[in-house]
Amino acid sequence: MPPHRETSLFRLLDDLRRMTADAADVETAIRTWLRATLQAFDAQRACVAVVDPGGGGAPVLRHAIPSAGAWDLGLFAAVLRNERSEPPDDLILGPVHRRGRLWGVLALTRDGAPFARGDGRDLARFTQALSDLIRAIDDARVRAVEERIARGVLERRRPKDVFYRILHGLRSLTRYDHSSALLILDHQRGLELVAEQAAWTKTKSPLIGLLLPLDDGVGDLLARRRVLTFEREADGWRSPDATEGGSLARTLAFHDDEHGTPPEQIVLAAPLVFRGEVLGVLKVSARSRTRLGRYEAELLRRFQLLAAAAIANSRETETLRRDVLRAERKHAMANLARGISHDVNNALGAILPTLEQLRCELEDGTANVATALRDLEHVERAMHTCRRVFGGLLEFARNRERPGAHGDLRRALDNTLAILEGSMLRGGIELELGVPAALPPVRGAQHELEQLLLNLSTNACEAMPTGGRLRITVEERADHVLVEVADDGTGMDAEHLRRCAEAFFTTKPTGTGLGLSICHSIVQDVRGRIAIDSAPGRGTRVRVELPSTRRPVGEEVAT
């Protein structure tokens, strides 16, 4: 090549580097370099072909100038597979690398006019510079995703928001064709799927909440913190970088025909360890092995600490939420105790004189059997009143939490109404109840379900200081149970309705402002929905959708 020609190419290459140094989009950078090389090498046609991971490694045209024209994709495929090939004299190829592997080729042709001997080497310099630019753009995108996730962790956003921010970032950076997931480790129960993003659907994963038991020894494997790669073989799973972990791979590859989802062919698993404790696993999987490699494993390694910190924050948030819930329950218990003391005193006031009179009659021999039986029936009814009230309080006061997140809605409603019955009668509140005899179990702990119904019912009663009607209806739907609590009370204006779920916002002189906030938290935790409709003078209606679940035979209701 003449010296002036080589000098001009180097000058053009330097100009291209400066011109695209701040490029933020890979496709724009490729088009710019394609046009420049077309002119620099006096070619008539140019194209960039890249590997299609989902097509078994076959190349596809990404950009071409002009857009029409035939290209030998078979030759490109051989080059991308690092096979020996002999392109014609009027065609030169330059390799383009991305994400740590050969990603594509940039091709130039002169339609019958041969290229000089050194043109292929010069083109390789251009494509090497293009590869460096693409790597810089990709690195900038990774840093931007890391910053967004770190900001969410530092600002203590809702844990679920941070979890899905991580999964969305992985999706945008790796372009996996199966799914990514975040699982939290419970040493007693196993791994729980708390967030998942699937490549083939935009809807919420139906597997959220899935529990995956772990075999012995898996915990030790996770504690090593290494990002593991597992590939499906005919006889099971193989790890190219480890001789163990088949059990973990089988656990994490939970997509199969049973769940109606395509199985994974390759799985990357990043253990999440925070302050020496294994908290969970971050997983990415693909249907094609060529989509995931060392680059994607390194990405997972970069996200390990952020994901672990997000889980640690979620635990702290859950602990704080439980503490607030306990405090609110104590406050509610104190209010209830003041409210029901009148009913219990009335019952005891009827029992004591009757028993004293019966004892006197038995002592002096004037007791009449028929009269005594009537008196004892009166005592029995009063005792049943006390038992009903105290039984409801006892159920509400229990705060045991056991595995198995299933609640009995009917039992929770019965306990709530037993507690509120006396105060409703005194306040002139009429109860209208529409509840089926049989209801499916719903997701959530029993004590939180009772807290939810008690808070909503108490709010409705307090909104009717001069009496009214409390309507509670329950309907079973396809995959959830709809609970509606409505009153004829004072209602709320638009501003109060907008803020009613805020913690510590209250319009009551002695209120804590936590009742509805806790209701929203309980419903969100079970992945349900809550909606409030209200207007001044028209009362308030609260609609709650609680996911139903079929409890295995013999499994206890969580209290």
DSSP, collapsed to helix, strand or coil, labels residue 92 as strand
Same domain, 413 and 277: no
pLDDT tens per residue, range 26-79: 898 899 889 999 988 889 999 999 987 665 667 889 899 998 888 988 899 888
Same domain, 134 and 158: no
Cβ neighbours of residue 176 under 8 Å, at least 6 residues apart? 170, 199, 284, 285, 286, 291, 292, 296
Identify the CATH number of the domain in which residue 134 sits.
Answer: 3.30.450.40
| Statement: residue 425 has pLDDT above 50 | yes
In whole angstroms, give the CA distance from residue 445 to residue 557: 8
Write phi, then psi, for 27 (nearest 5 degrees): -65, -40
Same domain, 93 and 198: no
Q: Give me the residues paired with residue 270 across strands.
A: 282
Show the CA angle centred on residue 260, arms to residues 258 and 264, nearest 5°. 85
Same domain, 112 and 21: yes
Dihedral, CA of residue 345, residue 349, residue 352 and residue 358, to nearest 10: -150
In whole angstroms, give the CA distance from residue 363 to residue 368: 12
Helix ranges (H only) for 365-407 are 369-397
CB 266 within 8 A of CB 283: no
Domain boundary at 294, 314, 334, which? 314
Over residues 210-232, the mean pLDDT reads 80
Higher pLDDT, 320 or 201: 201
**81 CB neighbour count, 10 Å cutoff:** 13
| Statement: residue 508 has pLDDT above 70 | no
In whole angstroms, give the CA distance from residue 472 to residue 486: 7
| Statement: residue 559 has pLDDT above 70 | no
pLDDT band at 375 (very low <50, low <70, confident <90, very high): confident
- Tokens at residue 67, please? 């857009």
| Statement: residue 114 has pLDDT above 70 | yes
Same domain, 544 and 423: yes
- Tokens at residue 81, please? 């597979």
Instruction: Please check whether residue 82 lies inside any domain of the structure.
Output: yes
pLDDT band at 274 (very low <50, low <70, confident <90, very high): confident
In whole angstroms, give the CA distance from residue 12 to residue 485: 73
Same domain, 248 and 187: yes
Same domain, 135 and 175: no
Over residues 442-449, the mean pLDDT reads 81
Instruction: Please check whether residue 487 lies inside any domain of the structure.
Output: yes
Over residues 194-203, the mean pLDDT reads 81
Same domain, 451 and 551: yes
pLDDT band at 332 (very low <50, low <70, confident <90, very high): low
> How many residues belong to the chain?
559
In whole angstroms, give the CA distance from residue 467 to residue 188: 49
CB 266 within 8 A of CB 273: no
pLDDT confidence of residue 482:
93
Domain boundary at 246, 279, 314, which? 314
* Nearest-10 crossing angle of helices 294-364, 446-462: 70
Instruction: Please check whether residue 388 lies inside any domain of the structure.
Output: no
Into how many domains does the chain fold? 3
Domain boundary at 314, 339, 362, which? 314
**260 CB neighbour count, 10 Å cutoff:** 9
In whole angstroms, give the CA distance from residue 104 to residue 33: 14
Average pLDDT, the chain: 79
Instruction: Please check whether residue 200 lies inside any domain of the structure.
Output: yes
In whole angstroms, give the CA distance from residue 375 to residue 139: 86
pLDDT band at 128 (very low <50, low <70, confident <90, very high): very high
Instruction: Please check whether residue 52 lies inside any domain of the structure.
Output: yes
Instruction: Please check whether residue 68 lies inside any domain of the structure.
Output: yes
Q: How far is CA 498 from CA 79, 158, 531, 535, in A?
A: 62, 20, 11, 12
| Statement: residue 472 has pLDDT above 90 | yes
In whole angstroms, give the CA distance from residue 330 to residue 319: 17
- Tokens at residue 512, please? 């804590």
Instruction: Please check whether residue 321 lies inside any domain of the structure.
Output: no
Same domain, 9 and 35: yes
DSSP, collapsed to helix, strand or coil, labels residue 19 as helix
DSSP, residue by residue, 251-303: HH---SGGGTSPPPSEEEEEEEEETTEEEEEEEEEESSGGG-SHHHHHHHHHH
pLDDT confidence of residue 273:
86
Identify the CATH number of the domain in which residue 432 sits.
Answer: 3.30.565.10
Can you give the pTM of this predicted structure? 0.57
In whole angstroms, give the CA distance from residue 256 to residue 165: 26
Whole domain around residue 306: which residue ranges? Answer: 154-314
Same domain, 61 and 176: no
CB 424 within 8 A of CB 383: no
Same domain, 135 and 214: no
pLDDT confidence of residue 544:
93
Angular region, 190: left φ>0, alpha ψ -120 to 50, beta rest:
left
| Statement: residue 129 has pLDDT above 80 | yes
* Nearest-10 crossing angle of helices 294-364, 119-154: 20
Same domain, 75 and 202: no
Q: What is the DSSP letter of 505?
A: -
Instruction: Please check whether residue 360 lies inside any domain of the structure.
Output: no
